[in-house]
């Protein structure tokens, strides 16, 4: 059984799938593995989460043997654990979402994306990974909307995915999420691209769950309002991560003078 804590004074029992967890609490010196969901907290002992990882791994091998192995493959235990956390430790749900994510990585060719492969589209300056972390020690992915002109959706999606991978590779020890910034200053109808914006959020929802801590829409002009109204229902739970703010807020609340992205220094 796992412990579900609603508040400091109430503790409930929670049955986890497959009956993999011991029904008898044991005293242990191990620190607890914690996953937060809203105001609820699921706590698992390390040996219990390990059993769930093995269950997912065995199920993937049995039912989806053709999926690749290795880093970000069906036997990648770090990836399995992350998707278990995202799916609140449901083995069935984690297997379903992992299968989709691994197939997508294979079909999209994520492992083949390099600086050289995306250099042409990256030179537009429409998106980049900032050189510095924010004040919360999170890697920062910046999209400059005024430099985006929808011409080659595939190239845009490849750049987006490459930058997400690059941002995640910059995570400091103990950190798990990145910050996204969409600079909407100078945005016009010629820059509108519902497909790209939806792809960006889909990537984080389906393939990099819980990796996006927050996304800032900076100085959104009036013309962006109808676009947001169309896109918001498609974003699922990710819409709650969006914060509309000013460039001044970005400067004061997210960076120091030394670490501020160059496009916010004017």
Give 16-75 pLDDT, tens digit per residue: 444 344 334 333 333 333 333 333 345 566 778 889 999 999 999 999 999 999 999 999
Q: How confident is the model at residue 11 (pLDDT cuts 50, 70, 90)?
A: very low
What tokens appear for 28 in the block? 């242990």
How many whole angstroms from its chain centre is CA 87? 13
pLDDT the model gives residue 185: 97
**Between these two residues, 10 and 83, which has the higher pLDDT value?**
83
- pTM for this one? 0.80
Distances from the Cα of 159 to the Cαs of 130, 156, 175, 199, in angstroms?
15, 5, 23, 12
Question: Does the pLDDT at position 12 exceed 60?
Answer: no
Cβ-Cβ contacts under 8 Å for 139 (sequence gap 6 or more) = 129, 130, 133, 167, 168, 170, 171, 178, 179
pLDDT the model gives residue 6: 37
Nearest to 168 by CA among 230, 105, 227: 105
Instruction: Give tens-digit pLDDT for 219-244.
Output: 999 999 999 998 888 887 788 999 99
pLDDT the model gives residue 249: 97
Supply the angle between the helices 46-63 and 91-108 in degrees, to the nearest 10.
60
Q: Average pLDDT for residues 128-144, to the nearest whole number? A: 97
pLDDT the model gives residue 42: 53
Contact present, 191 and 149 (Cβ < 8 Å) = yes
**Between these two residues, 11 and 45, which has the higher pLDDT value?**
45
pLDDT the model gives residue 84: 93
pLDDT the model gives residue 61: 95
**Between these two residues, 51 and 1, which has the higher pLDDT value?**
51
């Amino acid at each position: 059984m796992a412990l579900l804590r609603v508040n400091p004074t109430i503790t409930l029992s929670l049955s986890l799938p497959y009956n993999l967890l011991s029904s008898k609490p044991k005293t242990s010196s191990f620190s607890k593995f914690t996953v937060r969901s809203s105001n609820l907290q699921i706590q698992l002992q390390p040996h219990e989460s390990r059993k769930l990882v093995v269950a997912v791994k065995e199920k993937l091998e049995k039912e989806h043997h053709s999926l690749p192995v290795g880093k970000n493959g069906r036997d990648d235990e770090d990836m399995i654990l992350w998707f278990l956390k995202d799916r609140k430790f449901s083995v069935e749900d984690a297997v379903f979402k992992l299968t989709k994510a691994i197939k997508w990585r294979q079909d999209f060719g994520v492992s083949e994306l390099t600086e050289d492969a995306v250099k042409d589209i990256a030179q537009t300056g429409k998106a980049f990974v900032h050189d510095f972390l924010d004040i919360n020690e999170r890697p920062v992915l910046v999209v400059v909307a005024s430099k985006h002109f929808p011409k080659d959706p595939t190239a845009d999606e490849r750049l987006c995915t490459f930058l997400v991978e690059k941002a995640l590779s910059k995570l400091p020890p103990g950190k798990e999420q990145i910050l996204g910034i969409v600079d909407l200053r100078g945005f016009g109808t010629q820059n509108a691209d519902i497909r790209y914006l939806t792809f960006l959020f889909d990537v984080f929802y389906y393939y990099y769950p819980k990796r996006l801590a927050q996304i800032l829409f900076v100085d959104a002009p009036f013309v962006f309002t109808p676009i947001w109204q169309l896109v918001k229902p498609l974003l699922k739970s990710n819409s709650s991560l969006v914060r509309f703010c000013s460039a001044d807020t970005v400067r004061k609340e997210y960076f120091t003078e030394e670490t501020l992205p160059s496009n916010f220094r004017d």
